[in-house]
Structure 1
Amino acid sequence: MNRPPPLNAVYVFAVCARLGSFKLAAEELCVTPGAISRQIQGLEDFLGFKLFDRQHRKVLLTHPGQLYFSRVAPALTAIEEAAENIKPASERIPLQIESTPTFAMHWLIPRLTDFQTLHPEIELQLKTSSGPIILHKDTQIYIRRDPAQFSGLEGKEFMSEESLLVCSPSYARQQGTIRKQTIPDLPLIVIRSRIDLWDKWFQRNRLDINAVKQRVIFDNTILAIQATLEGLGVALIPALFVDEYIQSGALIEVPGSKALNTGSYSLIKPPEPRGQKDAKWVMGAFSDWISTIASRHS
């Protein structure tokens, strides 16, 4: 057999095999049952063997028909996927994610190339918010750390958070030896929305937080990181936001300090998928991807 079978007839065959009925296949393809029968008969003549046993109100695959279906079904799926992968942006499936700004900037965005490579058929839309979740009709996934920000909604934890005691190398040289007992004497860089970080650190190290002589307070983690890079003091910052600076030598961990468990990050989905009909699928694809990536970097 040197020439390929008629592709349209192969597609009709696959639909009939899936539905087990010429009538149902005709309804799905918007043609008459007679047209379906002619396509199948033509394909059987071309192949030289019967594909179906015709029975009352249904059709059953013959053994050769089952073998043929097992070969052509994956090929047809591959053809459909190829078409999906080259769709113009206007036809891609949108996925809108709302994340906290620091998590988006320092962790999520540097890894999104991987997701785009895996799912070119999905159009990512990323926005940020630091406050409690307010459901929007076009947003399918929210990323938050504080459970109080998604009270009443179901969250799936995907990554734990550990915070590190860090400072700039120049600040460390200026101060000489920094030990945990001397931390209350140093300027502490504080994140206004994460006062709990220093509270937990002082509790674990059995030191009196009231002994702190100076605090420099910043509204968010992004500003606190920059202040630490500039040598304004010692900071307690989640590792996932400062790992890159530690690896580059821009920041160092305070010698002798240990990572402190300070929470976790969760994916939160609306009670019912919002937006387009493919919402459940794109939400599942992103959830599976971020859980896999997080496990690699834990």
Structure 2
Amino acid sequence: MLKHWPPLNALRGFEAAARLGSFHKAAEELHLTQSAISQQIRSLESFLEQPLFFRNGRSVALTDAGFDLLSTTQALLQQLAVGIRRLEQYRKPNQLVVNTTPAFARHWLVPHLADFHQRHPQIDLWLLTTDETPDMATQTIDIAVRDDLSAQAECSFRVLLEDRLYPACHPGLLELAADARTTLHGEREMDWSHWQVQGGADVGQHSQGLNFSDPGLLLDAASQGLGIALVSQLLAGRARDQGLLVPLAEQTVRGPNWTWLVHRDSQGDPLTRSFCDWLVGALEEDSKGVEPPLGQGY
């Protein structure tokens, strides 16, 4: 990491002069005088301690060092421009930032977003998925909906749903003998040890097989017929309705709690309330048969 950086204006002046092959044209493009461009180039050459241009009267040509710096400078300025344009999203007046896990987003929230958008087209929803639990105090997040949350300062914490887990596989695997099916292993509650500790029946699971850290990928693998898996009753509902999963036992065991954190500064916001009310209603509709402690209020 450099301790000192050349001025950004000097890099802009250099890039324009190098691209256009003229100090005069660079000055016109940047609305500066030609002497100002020349001074920027000289200061940059002095900083780098080597020439960037061959000068022959009014014509200029890049040195080898100049060619090298041009590609770097253009990439830097382009990335900076993209980053600055991206900041416009934070100025949108009706933006609502919702954080969740990739698995919940892919297998439950995104399939329901059409309904939400139809009901609340004025809300500019920003869906932020992360594997790690967010820090609501330092990140710009209005609502977090996840299965790995605990209470945080200055946030409303609420249990939305107590999930249930069950063993399942693609219907095509039912033709195989139980001990011939590949076992798909997940983490936390999706690990088969959790099924066994909770008194789950033997459905032919093995200690070896394929392993997944993402419960969403685990569910995808089971739906595509790779093997048997312990799946979330909430997240697997769509795959089961589509005929991609069938349960291997009527028994279910306790799964993770789906909870939310609503930031204190967002609690009175009508956009936040609209999303929270919609979310509670959609979960109630989708989770019939799952244990839902869905009381009113925040």
Structure-2-length-normalised TM-score: 0.57
Closer/same/farther in 2, CA of residues 284 and 174 from structure 1, 3 Å limit: same
Shift of 1:108: 0.9
Q: For residues 169-180 of structure 1, what are the structure 2 equivalents within 5 Å?
A: 169-175=171-177, 178=178
Q: Quick check: 1:129 aligned with 2:130?
A: yes
Amino acid aligned to 2:272 = M
Task: Return structure 1 stretches of 4+ with deviation > 3 angstroms.
Answer: 150-154
- Structure 2 segments unaligned to the other structure (5+ residues): 1-90, 288-298
* CA root-mean-square deviation: 2.8
Cα deviation for residue 242 of structure 1 reads 1.8
Native 8 Å contact 2:149 2:260 kept in 1: no
Distance 1:232 1:113, change over 3 A: closer
CA contact (8 A) 1:166 1:236 kept: yes
* CA contact 2:189–2:255 (8 Å) conserved in 1: no
In the superposition, relative to structure 1, how do residues 234 and 133 fare at CA in structure 2: closer, same or farther (>3 Å)? same
Matching residue of 1:263: 256
The percentage of aligned residue pairs carrying the same residue is: 22
Q: How does 1:1-298 map to 2 (within 5 A)?
A: 92-135=93-136, 136-148=138-150, 150=151, 152=153, 153-175=155-177, 178=178, 187-192=182-187, 194-195=188-189, 197-205=191-199, 212-254=206-248, 256-270=249-263, 272-273=264-265, 280-298=269-287
Once residues 162 and 260 of structure 1 are traced to their aligned partners in structure 2, the CA distance between those partners, rounded to angstroms, is: 6
The Cα shift of 1:170 comes to 2.0
Deviations 1:133-165 (A, max 9, x none): 2234532111111235x5555411222211121
Residue ranges of structure 1 left out of the alignment (5+ in a row): 1-89
Conserved 8 A contact 1:162-1:263? yes
Distance 1:206 1:129, change over 3 A: closer
Whichever residue aligns with residue 264 of structure 1, its letter is N
SS at match of 1:125: strand
Deviations 1:72-118 (CA, angstroms, capped at 9, x unpaired): xxxxxxxxxxxxxxxxxx86511111111110111111112222222
Judge conservation of contact 1:140–1:279 (CA < 8 Å) in 2: no
Cα distance in 2 for partners of 1:155, 1:108 equals 19
CA distance in 1, matches of 2:247, 2:201: 19
State the 1:243 CA deviation. Answer: 1.8
CA distance in 1 between counterparts of 2:200 and 2:158 reads: 33
Q: Distance in 2 between matches of 1:224 and 1:250?
A: 13
TM-score (norm. length: structure 1):
0.57
3-state DSSP of counterpart to 1:269? strand
Compare the two structures and name the one with the higher helix fraction. Answer: 1
Alignment check: 8 A CA contact 1:186 1:214 kept: no
Q: CA deviation at 1:218?
A: 1.1
Going from structure 1 to structure 2, the CA distance change for 1:187 and 1:92 (only over 3 Å counts) comes to same
1:190 maps to a residue whose letter is H
The offset of 1:131, in angstroms, is: 1.0
Which residue identity does 1:141 align to in structure 2?
I
The 3-state SS of whatever aligns with 1:142 is: strand
